[in-house]
Amino acid sequence: MALREHRPSVVRVASSVSTAPIFAVWAPIPLRVEVVANGERHPMHEDGGWWKREIRDAHGGDIDYAFILDGREPVPDPRSPHQPYGVHGPSRTVRHAAFRWTDAEWQAPPLETGVVYEIHVGTFTSEGTFDAAIQRLDHLVQLGVTHVEMMPVAAFPGARGWGYDGVALWAPHHGYGGPGGLKRLVDACHAHGLAVVLDVVYNHFGPAGNHLGQFGPYFTPRYRTPWGDAVNLDGEGSDEVRRFLCDNALMWVRDYHMDGLRLDAVHAFVDTSAIPLLEQLSETIDDFEERTGRYVVLIAESDLNDPRVVRARRAYGCGIDAQWSDDFHHALHVALTGERSGYYADFSGMRDVVRALSDSWVYTGQYSQHRGRRHGRPPVDVPRSRFFGYLQNHDQIGNRARGDRTSHLLSPQYLRIAAALVLTAPFIPLLFQGEEWGASAPFQYFVDHDDPALAVAIRDGRRREFAAFGWQPDDVPDPQAVETYERSKLDWREAERTEHASLLDWYRRLITLRRTFHELGCGTSGNPEAVWDESAQTLLVRRGAFTIACNLAPVDRLTDLAGGRQVLLASAPGVVPAGAATVLPPGSVTIFRDGS
Where a domain ends, among 75, 98, 121? 98
- Quote the pLDDT of residue 325: 83
Please state, for a pLDDT cut of 70, what percent of the chain lies above it: 94
Q: Average the pLDDT over 48-70 and give the result.
A: 87
* Strand 10-14 relative to strand 19-26, pairing: antiparallel
pLDDT of 283 strictly over 70: yes
pLDDT of 33 strictly over 60: yes
pTM for the model stands at 0.95
Q: Average the pLDDT over 499-508 and give the result.
A: 97
- Quote the pLDDT of residue 481: 96
pLDDT of 13 strictly over 50: no
- Quote the pLDDT of residue 88: 94
Q: What is the CATH number of the domain that holds 46?
A: 2.60.40.10
Where a domain ends, among 45, 69, 98? 98
Q: Residue 219 falls within a domain, yes or no?
A: no
Residue 579, classified by CB atoms within 10 Å of its CB into exposed (0-12), middle (13-18) or buried (19+), is exposed
pLDDT of 6 strictly over 50: no
Residue 325 makes CB contacts below 8 A (sequence gap 6+) with 356, 360, 361, 387, 388, 389, 427
CB atoms within 10 A of CB 477: 22
- pLDDT tens by residue, 394-405: 999 998 999 999
DSSP state of 299: E
Q: Residue 322 falls within a domain, yes or no?
A: no
CB atoms within 10 A of CB 506: 22
pLDDT of 18 strictly over 80: no
pLDDT of 146 strictly over 80: yes
pLDDT of 339 strictly over 90: yes
Tell me how far the alpha carbon of residue 80 is from its chain's centroid.
Answer: 23
Where a domain ends, among 65, 98, 131? 98
Question: Is residue 117 a contact partner of residue 150, using CB atoms and an 8 Å limit?
Answer: no
Confidence of residue 58 (pLDDT cuts 50, 70, 90): low
List the catalytic residues: 264, 301
Confidence of residue 173 (pLDDT cuts 50, 70, 90): very high
Residue range of the domain that includes 42: 10-98
The H or E element spanning position 67 is: strand 64-69
Residue 19, classified by CB atoms within 10 Å of its CB into exposed (0-12), middle (13-18) or buried (19+), is exposed
Q: Average the pLDDT over 255-263 and give the result.
A: 98
pLDDT of 505 strictly over 80: yes
In 3D space, the residue among 1, 6, 74, 54 whose CA is nearest the CA of residue 240 turns out to be: 6
Cα gap 175→171, rounded to integer Å: 11
Q: Residue 339 falls within a domain, yes or no?
A: no
- pLDDT tens by residue, 341-393: 889 999 999 999 999 999 999 999 999 999 999 999 999 989 999 999 999 99
Q: Average the pLDDT over 56-75 and give the result.
A: 86
pLDDT of 582 strictly over 90: no
Q: Average the pLDDT over 561-587 and give the result.
A: 82
Q: Residue 40 falls within a domain, yes or no?
A: yes
DSSP, collapsed to helix, strand or coil, labels residue 528 as: coil
Q: Residue 68 falls within a domain, yes or no?
A: yes
Confidence of residue 500 (pLDDT cuts 50, 70, 90): very high
Confidence of residue 577 (pLDDT cuts 50, 70, 90): low
User: Does residue 447 or residue 524 have the better pLDDT?
Assistant: 447
DSSP per-residue string spanning 561-585: --S-EEEEEESSS--EEETTEEEE-
In 3D space, the residue among 393, 347, 342, 423 whose CA is nearest the CA of residue 143 turns out to be: 423
pLDDT, averaged across the chain: 92
Residue 209 makes CB contacts below 8 A (sequence gap 6+) with 76, 86, 87, 88, 157, 167, 168
Confidence of residue 20 (pLDDT cuts 50, 70, 90): low
Count of domains observed in the chain: 2
Q: Residue 253 falls within a domain, yes or no?
A: no
In 3D space, the residue among 169, 5, 147, 26 whose CA is nearest the CA of residue 87 turns out to be: 169
Q: Residue 63 falls within a domain, yes or no?
A: yes
Q: Residue 129 falls within a domain, yes or no?
A: no
- Quote the pLDDT of residue 136: 98
- Quote the pLDDT of residue 12: 41
Backbone φ/ψ region at 315: left (φ over 0), alpha (ψ -120 to 50), beta = alpha
Cα gap 219→231, rounded to integer Å: 4
- Quote the pLDDT of residue 212: 96
